[in-house]
Amino acid sequence: MALPIKKDDYSFRKFLNKVSINNQIRAFEMRVIDEKGKNLGVISKDEALRLAKEAGLDLIELSSTVNPPICKIADYGKHTYEMSKKKKEVKSKQVNSETKNIQMSVEISDNDLGIKAKRAAEWMKEGHRVKIELQLKGRTKFMEDSFLRERLNRILVIIPCEYKTAEPIKKVGNKSFIVVLEKAK
């Protein structure tokens, strides 16, 4: 049975990714930065709270993992707003890339091959990697590697965009040949 977590518990605040402010800070000494960015040095918690109260601002714990912890005298509302803006900016700059799969057999027709090539080009333009897999079933498992590589190269020749091979053609057991492509920079 799990123990109930109190809302004022330190681990619960860490779990919610919230920062400690004013009297929630547990350290007795801390490195303090004032509202202008000036380092005030290592001072006691009571002195830091007094300075924050005189300025009409909050004492915000920026980093609790270092010894002594780093705190800043600032407006808590403004601080959280700036942090949320930074998170949104980082998230917007992130490129979510995943590997898309295209599976084909040795007997694939030219029309189906063209459709799969167009789909691979679309995915690469979106920034995804594309893994093309030539599946070997039945008697095709025992065909010569040079013939199977040539069958896989058929799709590589007709892809209508520029790409580079992230991983070269390789044989995976006797089940398939795989090549991984990504958009050329």
Q: Is 79 part of any domain?
A: yes
Residues 22-54 pLDDT 10s: 888 888 888 888 888 888 888 888 888 888 888
The separation between CA 122 and the C-alpha centre of its own chain, rounded to angstroms, equals: 22
Distance (Å, rounded) from C-alpha 37 to C-alpha 72?
Answer: 8
User: Which pLDDT band, with edges at 50, 70 and 90, does 69 fall under?
Assistant: confident
Stretch 151-164: mean pLDDT, rounded? 85
Same domain, 57 and 103: no
104 and 83 in a common domain: no
The top-scoring range by mean pLDDT among 27-31, 78-82, 111-115, 154-158 is 111-115
Domain's final residue, options 73, 93, 113: 93
Model confidence at 127, pLDDT cuts 50, 70, 90, reads confident
Regarding whether 162 and 121 lie in a shared domain, the answer is yes
Same domain, 38 and 88: yes
147: in domain: yes
Q: 134: how many CB neighbours lie within 10 A of its CB? A: 25
Residue 144, φ and ψ in degrees, nearest 5: -70, 145
Residue 75's nearest CA partner among 86, 59, 54 is 59
Q: Say yes or no: 27 and 88 in one domain.
A: yes
- DSSP three-state, residue 102: strand
Would 3 be classed as within a structural domain?
Answer: no
Q: What is the pLDDT of residue 111?
A: 92
Name the pLDDT band for 115 (thresholds 50, 70, 90). Answer: very high
User: Given pLDDT bands bounded at 50, 70 and 90, which one contains residue 150?
Assistant: confident
Is the per-residue pLDDT at 9 higher than 80? no
pLDDT tens by residue, 82-114: 888 988 888 877 766 788 888 888 888 889 999
For the question of whether the overall pTM of this predicted structure is more than 0.85, the answer is no
Check residue 3 and give its pLDDT.
47
The answer to whether residues 87 and 122 belong to one domain is: no
Q: Tell me: do 15 and 89 sit in the same domain.
A: yes
Question: Could you tell me the residue range of the domain that residue 111 belongs to?
Answer: 99-183
Query: Has residue 145 been placed in a domain?
Result: yes
Residue with tokens 């920034």: 127
Q: Tell me the average pLDDT of the chain.
A: 81
Instruction: Tell me the CATH number at 160.
Output: 3.30.110.10
C-alpha–C-alpha distance, residues 31 and 93, integer Å:
32
Does the residue 144 lie in any domain? yes
The mean pLDDT value for 12-23 works out to 63
Instruction: Decide if 178 is inside a domain.
Output: yes
Q: Report the number of distinct structural domains present in the chain.
A: 2
pLDDT band at 1 (very low <50, low <70, confident <90, very high): very low
